[in-house]
């Protein structure tokens, strides 16, 4: 049986930490759908299409990403999982402080859809401190983003905050 998992998140924007988790997930599942939450209750810097395009660019020359698809979704994640026939959600856990939120979210999703399970993966330890929100903070102050996100993502972030200043 072929295995299919969703890798859901805001990806606002995608970071090296996300890419590390995604690569690990491709080693465990036949197909992964990077599932971008759009029009959710969270305000985002980038639109769904912008986030999707950035992720696509990250993956275009990566052999390991052959079986990765990218989709946007609105609404409950478990509804989207059912629509796709996915029984597994992949989430990255960087440190213990992430765990409480992740645990609550996984159990809420399980209550809503007992047939959908969440697996947690840890990123490379060098990447555990990276988060999209801290990356945005560094970008806001025009800092060097090269160790946090790919170049095209850094350019998009710097462009966004430069435009905001004007």
Contact residues: ligand PNS, CB under 6 A: 8-10, 37, 40, 76-77, 105, 108-109
The span from the CA of 161 to the CA of 166, in Å, is 9
Nearer to ligand PNS, 105 or 121 (CB): 105
The span from the CA of 144 to the CA of 158, in Å, is 10
Nearer to ligand PNS, 48 or 150 (CB): 48
Nearer to ligand PNS, 133 or 166 (CB): 133
Minimal distance, residue 150 CB to ligand PNS, in Å: 18
Q: Which of 21, 42, 14 is nearest to 154 (CA)?
A: 14
CA quadruple 97, 40, 12, 115: dihedral sign: positive
Assigned token pair, 55 = 């992720």
Minimal distance, residue 126 CB to ligand PNS, in Å: 20
H or E, element range at 104: helix 96-112
Nearer to ligand PNS, 108 or 124 (CB): 108
Residues 6+ apart with CB under 8 A from 41: none
CB 153, CB 51: distance < 8 Å: no
Nearer to ligand PNS, 6 or 65 (CB): 6
Minimal distance, residue 106 CB to ligand PNS, in Å: 9
Minimal distance, residue 79 CB to ligand PNS, in Å: 8
Minimal distance, residue 76 CB to ligand PNS, in Å: 4
Neighbours of 53 (CB within 10 A): 15
């Amino acid at each position: 049986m072929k295995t299919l998992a969703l890798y859901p998140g805001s990806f606002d924007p995608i970071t090296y930490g996300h890419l590390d988790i995604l690569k690990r997930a491709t080693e465990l599942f036949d197909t992964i759908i990077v599932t971008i939450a759009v029009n959710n209750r969270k305000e985002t810097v980038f639109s769904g299409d912008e986030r999707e395009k950035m992720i696509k660019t990250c993956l275009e020359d990566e052999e390991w990403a052959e079986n990765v698809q990218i989709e946007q979704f609105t609404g409950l994640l478990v509804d989207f999982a059912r629509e796709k026939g996915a029984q597994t959600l992949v989430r990255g856990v960087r440190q213990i402080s992430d765990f409480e939120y992740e645990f609550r979210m996984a159990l809420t999703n399980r209550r809503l859809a007992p047939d959908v399970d969440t697996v947690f993966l840890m990123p490379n330890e060098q990447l555990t401190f990276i988060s999209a929100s801290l990356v945005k903070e560094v970008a806001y102050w025009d800092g060097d983003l090269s160790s946090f996100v790919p170049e095209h993502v850094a350019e998009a972030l710097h462009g966004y905050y430069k435009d905001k200043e004007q």
